[in-house]
Amino acid sequence: MLTNQRHAFRNWVGSAFLLTAFVILCVRFFDIPVALYVKKRLYRNAHWSRYTSNLPDLLLVLVLVTTCVGCLLYLSRTKKGIYDQATSFEKLITWTAPVSYLAKSLLKFLFGRVNTRCWLQQPQLYGFHWFQRRPGCDGFPSGHMLVIVALLAAVWRFYPRCRPFCLLFAVLLAVALVVTNYHFVSDVAAGAFTGVLVEAVVFRLLREPSRLASRSIR
């Protein structure tokens, strides 16, 4: 067991280093060219510009609905004495949704990176403005990517047959966030990685009390 934990920890550390290297490369070489390409090629179309300029931000609504529905289903099943895969999944998303939302809020404040649309209007703000809470400096990591990927990771864990759809949805979401100039490429990549990490940590924390309880019974 200890060997598996060490192996998993090394994998996470290695992945974090790779992500950091990728983010640095994007910040220095790819984020700006991609954002400018999107602006030049896609926003030349008046319909695209109009439809994507004021998209509603429903992330908080998604988190609240997911948390409430997951909690109600979990309580209903446990009250009936049902402890199966669905019950565990409902418990996981009940916690993963708010924790991932909190994580994205804290990280955005920590990094203070200007978002793509604000940068297009004020190029001098490009970069990270740590702990400053400036208007428009809330781009890193992508909150939508973080929260939704965290929930998709929960589905991935409990329902293997849905994994192709989870992967497809995550890729489509990443592309949508970039081609609407809501986020730079590095914002999306960091959001996806952090979402997977948050789900894994929440799953581990929820599982540990169950293990301790089973050991005490024995």
- How far is it, in rounded angstroms, from Cα 28 to Cα 30? 6
pLDDT of residue 53: 77
Average pLDDT over residues 141-160: 97
| 195 token code pair | 């979402």
pLDDT, the chain, mean:
91
- How far is it, in rounded angstroms, from Cα 139 to Cα 117? 10
Asked whether residue 188 carries a pLDDT value surpassing 60, the answer given is yes
Average pLDDT over residues 121-135: 92
Q: Which of 34, 18, 56, 62 is nearest to 183 (CA)?
A: 34
Average pLDDT over residues 38-61: 83
Query: pLDDT band for position 42 (50/70/90)?
Result: confident
Average pLDDT over residues 177-205: 96
Average pLDDT over residues 5-16: 86
pLDDT of residue 20: 95
**Domain ranges (residues) in the chain:** 56-217
Query: pLDDT band for position 164 (50/70/90)?
Result: very high
Asked whether residue 10 carries a pLDDT value surpassing 60, the answer given is yes
Asked whether residue 60 carries a pLDDT value surpassing 50, the answer given is yes
**DSSP for residue 51:** H
pLDDT of residue 5: 75
| 191 token code pair | 């959001």
